[in-house]
Chain A
Amino acid sequence: MRYAVEVLVTLKPGLADPQGKAVEGALPALGWTNVRDVRVGKHVRFEIETDSEDAARDQVGSMASRLLSNPVIEDSRILEVRPA
């Protein structure tokens, strides 16, 4: 089976997020003064060929912790696994 997968990678809570700070700092210049706690993450999409959805989720979990994210500073979450 072929599955379409989406993984979200975010900086761990509590870790300084300079990108988020920069975005937050730019918003008031455009008139949006009511936004706080901006955090910037990564959204990764791909297709995967496995026997079952469980197998796909297993493999994606390993991929997410070994390459797609750095568990020292980031959390990763599988957003979606659906038949492609």
Chain B
Amino acid sequence: MTGRIGVVTFPGSLDDRDAIRAVELMGGEGVPLWHAEPDLKKVDGVILPGGFSYGDYLRCGAIARFATVMDAIRGFAERGGPVLGICNGFQILCESGLLPGALIRNRSLRFVCKEVFLRVETTATPVTADVLPGEVLRMPIKHGEGQYVASEGDLDRLEGDGRVVFRYCGPDGEVDDVHNPNGALRGIAGVRNEDGNVVGLMPHPEHAVDPDVGPTGGQALFASLLSQAMAGVP
């Protein structure tokens, strides 16, 4: 049996096809899901891909959160189903309240497109369960609004509960301002919900699975997602 991972297409999604391709390169079955349909097609996990859903109007992810498919995804997440939001997908999960915090304009005010290093901070998520804690993964970022913010109190709680999943870092895992590409508070690149089954990150693991075209830091995350999705079908 192969893990079936649904990938949602919103109006303005860009990376849906890359996400499906990444799932399939890693041995799973990618299932296209449509924003206007409530049917999740019995998938074992869901990916909200990157892009500019609804033109990023009002705020990134603000309008996509009300799409028909999001009700089904909320129910799927509440039953413990793995949900991964990448870039715009992360913004949508924050806007929908499934993840804490928010993403605002990069500190530099510029769109940033480059490869970064990420340090894995917790293995208590479906995408990092099979990764070593502290492991450094290389993958690209490409966003204008990726600066993660939350109140100091919320940040302390997130840290205390082990809900920071990824931090921007240097090649040896050093977390410092130099390696923070967007001004994210405490270098946070990705977080998880309380139960750990909903994860969002700004960097793009789906663009980092094929050694012919770049780094392969995304492989471990997809491999982990596939094995976890198969282990605990909600």
Contacts and interface: CB of A to CB of B under 8 A. Distances in A.
Contacts of A15: 104, 149
A37 to B, nearest CB: 17
Given A19-B109, A72-B150, A67 B58 contact: yes
Contacts of B105: 18-19
B102 interface: yes
B58 A72 contact: no
B109 A73 contact: no
Interface residues of B, number: 20
Interface of B: 58-59, 62-63, 66, 94-95, 100-102, 104-109, 147, 149-150, 183
B97 to A, nearest CB: 9
A55 interface: no
Contacts, number: 37
Interface residues of A, number: 12
Given A70-B95, A73-B102, 7 more contacts: A11-B104, A18-B107, A19-B105, A19-B109, A70-B62, A72-B94, A73-B149
A16 B109 contact: no
A70 B150 CA distance: 12
A71 to B, nearest CB: 9
A68 B109 contact: no
Contacts of A21: 109
Nearest to A21: B109
Nearest to A72: B102
A16 B106 contact: no
A43 B106 CA distance: 22
Nearest to A15: B149
10 contacts: A18-B108, A18-B183, A19-B109, A67-B62, A67-B63, A72-B100, A72-B101, A72-B102, A73-B102, A73-B104
